[in-house]
Amino acid sequence: MLKVAIVGAGTMGSVHSNSYRSVRGAKVVAICDIRPDRATKAASAHGAKCYEDYDMMLRNEKIDVVDICLPTYMHKGFALKAISYGKHVFCEKPIALSIGDAREMVDGARNRGVKFSVGHVVRFFPAYAKAVKNIKEGKIGIPKLIRTTRAGAYPSWSWNNWYSNYDCSGGPMVDLIIHDIDWIRYNFGDVERVFARDLYGRKIDNLDHCLITLRLKNGAIAHIEGSWAYPKGSIFGTTFEIIGTKGQIEFDSRSSAPIKKYVPNGDAVRTSIESPMFPDEEPYTMEIQKFIDCITENKKPLVSGEDAIKALEISLAAVKSARTKEVVLPGGDN
Amino acid sequence: MGKIKIGMVSFEHMHALSYAKALSKMEDVEISGVADSDMYRGTQAASMFNTKYYQDYRKLLETPVDGVVICTCNKLHMPTVIDAAKAHKYIMVEKPFATNTKEADAMLKACRDNGVKMMTAFPLRFNQAVIEAKKQIDRGDIGDILCITGINHGKMPSGWFLDINKSGGGAIIDHTVHVADLMRWFTGSEVKTVYAETGNMLYNTGIDDCGILNVEFENGVFATIDTSWAHHKNYPIWPEVYMEIIGTKGVLKVDAFKQVERIYSEESGEITDDVWGSDGDEGLMREFVNTIKTGKEPSETGLDGAKAMWIALAAYASSKSHKVEKVVYGG
């Protein structure tokens, strides 16, 4: 049984904590957060210990895996420390804010001989995985045009509103649509050219939106839309549309949600949707299970550090394109 | 005032059929002739609309028609428009307006020189959902427009559409113009630059069938336009025209062909989405007839058609250079 410590008990930390209840071969033994109430809440389901001090946790606890669910700008420091203690590291996406930082993390883990993976969880979302399976079975021929969207309200709920500081989060092109970028690159091919636009610098509070066009090396075109422009309370949703030489696949998380609920909200109505999944088919559980299995079976993680770096390269190329309004080739000095 | 006489010049572009149907419903309009170099196609259409057939459109232009609806292949727009303008007929020309700047400039000049009003067939400007979306944005429901995601997907056409000598291009010139025109109309601004990724990707025809344009307007609005002939044969509907408009105070999505009912037919073996919503073709033809009646400037013109075409031409240039290209408006 691998012993896991979760660092950061915010939104993603809580999601991961919940997922570990269904993960085989691992147990959460410690949760670290500077907010004791958040740590206590997440720890209760596991009977785990709570820490405010990361170093103290690493020194005191017998831990095999550190699961980092902190704001992006903290990833490198916390990952390198865990690696120095010889812990396997699972890190939330995006891996880091610069290729240099990401490279240090990946190289550090390799040199220390520990497993390292990043939470590019979209690969594990059932609809996305099924589309890939259908394409591999040849149902739509060769994929040529890929459109994805990922849209919701501005994440102003975050701790200290850290998402709004792009030096901390990278903004939607680095934080949000890196999900789609990894999924597209991993399943459909490496990227030749990037063109992107966003609303950075328009000085509109709590609003951003980005449109990215990718040309893949195999000739396919991808259009990725990421939005933090929907009004507060809007239902978050993702879509994809893949057009191949022999057919097409379409998915919309909102219209395929089997549960829609309408409850009174004063004179208005509050609408919500849900797509329930069995615990062991739940994507966050599956990504963590896969990482735990790769440790116990001594295999390579499905999402490698190199994958995470490649996704970040494309995101950073998109940022550069949006700033310069020019086409950018990813992997250069962005 | 007697009936307005309209001549249909060619049914080479299949949209002629729906335009003629729209005109035939109007009590103040008479379809007074069909010209088509293809005798079979032309006589079929003439008998359908109970009118006279001319093989040579110049013979039709000699008759006292008030206006002509030109639905030849794209390459023949220029000579036909120039002849019609010289004959002092009002003109509705199918989109894309033309296939290059030289043609477009000559067409615009001919109409100017002869005092003839010209419209481009942009039926989406007369689609009820699009009109309503424009109205709501104009009254400030979503604040100022910041950016737009546009899609015009359709099925793969056949025949002359795939012959570059007749069409001037594939999906890019065919589909860019609709959404580009709507975006110009909604933003009240002109496109400054275009970056495009395009290609002959889905069908082995040698003509572009997929494309994504990134456009930037003079007022700073940016947008993408997906012009792909992306709907496969068994897709439930031919067209898709969609815009997601991000504003400073909200978001508006408009889907021009969303008013459908779905038919699952064991008889045909098909699943189809049948549009019950309003048809922009009727509004388009009504505007043309009103322009003839009043002699006033129509709500959209030949120049609007030319501008949308110039955006498509910049997309072709960009897809060759892999660079951001300036739109060149006219020679």
CA angle B86, B92, B95 (to 5 degrees): 120
Residues A113 and A228 reside in one and the same domain: no
Average pLDDT score over residue span A224-242: 96
Residue finishing a domain among A88, A121, A154: A121
**Chain A partners of B323 at a C-beta cutoff of 8 Å?**
326-327
Look at chain A and report how many structural domains it folds into: 2
User: Are both A129 and A71 inside the same structural domain?
Assistant: no
Under 8 Å CB-to-CB from A24, ≥6 apart: which residues? A289, A292
In tens, the pLDDT along A163-219 reads 999 999 999 999 999 999 999 999 999 999 999 999 998 888 889 999 999 999 999
Interchain contact A246–B (C-beta under 8 A): yes
pLDDT at A334 over 70: no
| pTM higher than the cut 0.90 | yes
Q: Which residue of B has its CA nearest to A202?
A: B146
| Distance from the A294 Cα atom to the nearest Cα atom in chain B, whole angstroms | 39
Judging contacts by C-beta atoms under 8 Å, the chain A residues touching residue B203 are 245
ipTM for the whole complex: 0.93
Same domain? A6 vs A75: yes
Q: Is B141 on the interface with A (CB under 8 A)?
A: no
What DSSP string describes A109-163? HHHHT--EEE--GGGGSHHHHHHHHHHHTTTT-SEEEEEEEEEEE--TTSGGGGG
- Sequence-distant (6+) residues with CB within 8 A of B48 are B20
Query: Is the Cβ pair A248, B214 closer than 8 Å?
Result: no
Q: Say if the Cβ atoms of A219 and B212 lie within 8 Å.
A: no
B118-120 and B240-247 as β-strands: parallel, antiparallel, unpaired? unpaired
All structural domains of chain B, each given as residue ranges with its CATH number in brackets, are 4-123+281-300 (3.40.50.720), 125-278+310-326 (3.30.360.10)
Q: Are residues A195 and A227 in the same domain?
A: yes
Same domain, A165 and A88: no
Closest residue of chain A to B248, computed from CA coordinates: A204
CA distance readout (Å), A109 to A72, A85, A105, A312: 18, 11, 6, 18
Is the CB of residue B246 less than 8 Å away from at least one CB of chain A?
yes
Q: Nearest by CB to A211, from B149, B197, B232: name it.
A: B149
Give residue B278's pLDDT. Answer: 80
Structure tokens at B65: 């028609």
Full residue range of the structural domain in which residue A16 is found: 2-121
* Contact across the interface for B235 and A199, Cβ inside 8 Å: no
Distance from CA of A118 to the nearest CA of B (A): 30
Mean pLDDT of A121-131: 97
Given this model, what pLDDT does residue B331 score?
A: 82
Q: Of A70, A86, A121, at which residue does a domain stop?
A: A121
Per-residue pLDDT of chain B (331 residues; tens, 9 = 90+): 699 999 999 999 999 999 999 999 999 999 999 999 999 999 999 999 999 999 999 999 999 999 999 999 999 999 999 999 999 999 999 999 999 999 999 999 999 999 999 999 999 999 999 999 999 999 999 999 999 999 999 999 999 999 999 999 999 999 999 999 999 999 999 999 999 999 999 999 999 999 999 999 999 999 999 999 999 999 999 999 999 999 999 999 999 999 999 999 999 999 999 999 888 999 999 999 999 999 999 999 999 999 999 999 999 999 999 999 999 998 8
Q: Are residues A109 and A215 in the same domain?
A: no
Residue A315 above 80 pLDDT? Answer: yes
What is the pLDDT at residue A333?
57
Q: Find the closest chain B residue to A197 by CA distance.
A: B222
Tokens of B174: 């065919």
Q: Which of A121, A149, A175 delimits the end of a domain?
A: A121
Same domain, A133 and A211: yes
Is the CA virtual torsion B119, B123, B128, B129 positive or negative? negative
Q: Could you tell me the two tokens for A21?
A: 């209840």
Q: State the smallest CA–CA distance between residue B273 and chain A in angstroms.
A: 16
Nearest-neighbour CA in chain A from B224: distance (Å): 7
My answer on whether A158 and A233 are in the same domain is yes
Nearest residue in A to B234, CA atom = A247
Say if A15 falls within a structural domain: yes
- Position A157 scores a pLDDT of 85
